[in-house]
Structure 1
Amino acid sequence: MNCNGRLVELTKPKIMGILNLTPDSFSDGGKFNNEESALKHAEKLLKDGAEIIDIGPQSTRPDAGFLSSNDEIERTGKIISRIKKEFPEALISLDTFYSETVKFGFNEGIDMINDISGGQFDDTMFKIAGETKLPYILMHVNPSYETMHHKAKFEDITLEINRYFSKKTNELLEKGVKDIILDPGFGFGKTVEDQMKMISETQYLGFGKFPLLIGISRKSFIYKPLGKSPLGINEETQKLHMKVLEQGAKILRVHDVTEAALTIRQFCEKTEKRL
């Protein structure tokens, strides 16, 4: 990946640590929504083993408050540039579905775009992504903000996701986006059964053409069937992380970096033994 002029290898899986600037995210809302607490959390994520910090100014959980791009920009403030100054080795991803927020983030120094909407909530997103030349994370999701959490009925979830990826990656390439990362969209409008199928068929998602990002951290399809809380499923989550790593996943988007780093280390040791 060419991250703002810096070439990043994905031969070894990487960890994307989540930094929510929101007051209403489902498991850590309000913890890091000022500059000092956000900076301290970024430092912890990096120390624990994250190489990418995913900054999210807007919660996309069900029933979250809706923010405009101006709201996102105001909430983000100088956090991006401060992290880049304090931790120049960190790669910064900006979690937004607004092209105006992307422009702001690009001027502040972000290294990649994480758009949960696949360009569907802002018609100019793909154009702006192409202009920035930043890597773009393409997520599978229902076609509107209002319907993104509606449980859709898919005849074959893997086939549906691959059709979507095929169409959207072609559009992105036409707009000049060269580095595309695929996110199958766990937690967005899919049944528990579909999401478990996505785990078991990770190797078939995206046809192996682009790197795959998996974001299952603290997701309800894991904790609700077990009758647990989002914070009580680390062991189960790491087992699923291992499954997707064994099928070629390149980036894990997580809240709990230490545990994910251990899983990646175990995965790499197993891989080396096979060789």
Structure 2
Amino acid sequence: MLSNSPTLQHSDRTYSINCNGRLVQLDTPKIMGILNLTPDSFSDGGKFNEEKSALEHAEKLLKDGAEILDIGPQSTRPNAEFLSASEEINRIGNIISLIKKEFPESLISLDTFYAATVKFGFSEGIDLINDISGGQYDAEMFDTAAQTKLPYILMHVNPSYETMHDKIKFEDITLEVNQYFAKKTKELLEKGVNDIILDPGFGFGKTVEDQMKMIHEVEYLGFGRFPLLIGISRKSFIYKPLGKSPLDINEETQKLHMKVLEQGAKILRVHEVAETKETLTHFLRKK
């Protein structure tokens, strides 16, 4: 549900998404907890890539305040190992169905750029598709998203897997991202994907300066037509200029989380769920 008033900012708008027949209201921003099933993710690789550890971490994320679990079978950090769809599916195994059985109220997002992995995840019970490629790395992705009728997270990224992390200095990053969103959302809507969430793609092929500009201009991204997901957790544009490690920037990250919440962000994709929950609680008290 989206208000039609052109004067409303993101923060004033109400949205809902249909997750497998379950209507999820985004009036109150949601926390998406990251569950990497990978051996090579940049900050938690190898920690949760077995069923027992994955289930335990899923439980912790939910207890700490996550309402969505984002399951990632493949790392997309620079120089990560490239997996095929079948390798992703093998890596996921029974994790989705086990989490759904253990925590039936949880919402599960699947982080993949493969249509085949989405089809598998849909059969196992996922609730959202989180495609970092904007449908650019698999020609069947948009059609598959339409077939599932699941909410689709559309991220801004360079047009190929090989160039994903190539740094581009845009003349106007906000304009560039909005032009991309306008083109891609038109394609998705024409195919019948109605629940779209926009992700401006922090950490993917953008300079530090452009990413900080996006932080300050979140309210202008997507023109308020669709809900915004912001994923800045442990990203290098925060920790590298400070000379810190990805695990050492919680205070700085939470300040930026507050800034994007104030501009209308509806989903925060994070590693540190408990700390982000505190930030969200503080934000809601201020409203």
TM-score by length of 1: 0.98
Shift of 1:70: 0.2
Partner of 2:244: 228
Cα distance in 2, alignment partners of residues 213 and 221 from structure 1:
17
State the partner residue of 1:20.
Answer: 36
Q: Distance in 2 between matches of 1:141 and 1:114?
A: 13
SS at match of 1:189: coil
Verify: 1:128 aligned to 2:148, yes or no.
no
Aligned to 2:192: 176
Task: Give the letter aligned to residue 236 of structure 1.
Answer: E
1:151 aligned partner, one-letter code: K
Question: Aligned residue for 1:119?
Answer: 135
What letter matches 1:235 in structure 2?
Answer: E
| Matching residue within 22, 28, 49 for 2:65 | 49
Q: 1:66-118, CA deviations, whole angstroms, 9 ceiling, x for partnerless residues?
A: 00000000000000000000000100000000000000000000000000000
Map of 2:276 onto structure 1 = 260
Point out where structure 2 has 5 or more consecutive residues left out of the alignment: 1-16
Per the TM alignment, residue 153 of structure 1 is displaced from its structure 2 partner at its CA by 2.1
One-letter code aligned to 1:239? K
SS at match of 2:25: coil
User: Hey, what does 2:10 align to over in structure 1?
Assistant: none
Q: Residues of 2 paired with 1:80 and 1:129: CA distance? A: 18
The answer to whether the aligner puts 1:209 opposite 2:263 as a matched pair is no
Structure 1 residue aligned with 2:7? none
State the SS of the aligned residue for 1:39: helix
Identity %: 81
1:238 aligned partner: 254
Question: 1:92 aligns to what SS in structure 2?
Answer: strand
Counterpart contact for 2:150–2:195, Cα < 8 Å = yes
After superposing on structure 2, the runs of 4+ consecutive aligned residues of structure 1 that deviate more than 4 Å are: none
Measured against aligned partners, the alpha-carbon deviations of 1:106-160 in whole angstroms (never above 9, x if no partner) come to 0000000000000000001000000000000000000000000000121000000
Q: What do you get for the CA RMSD once the two structures are aligned?
A: 0.3
SS in 2 for 1:182: strand
Q: State the alpha-carbon separation in 2 of the partners of residues 181 and 105 from structure 1.
A: 19
Unaligned runs of 5+ in 1: none
Q: Does 1:148 align with 2:179?
A: no
Which residue identity does 2:252 align to in structure 1? E
Number of aligned residue pairs: 271
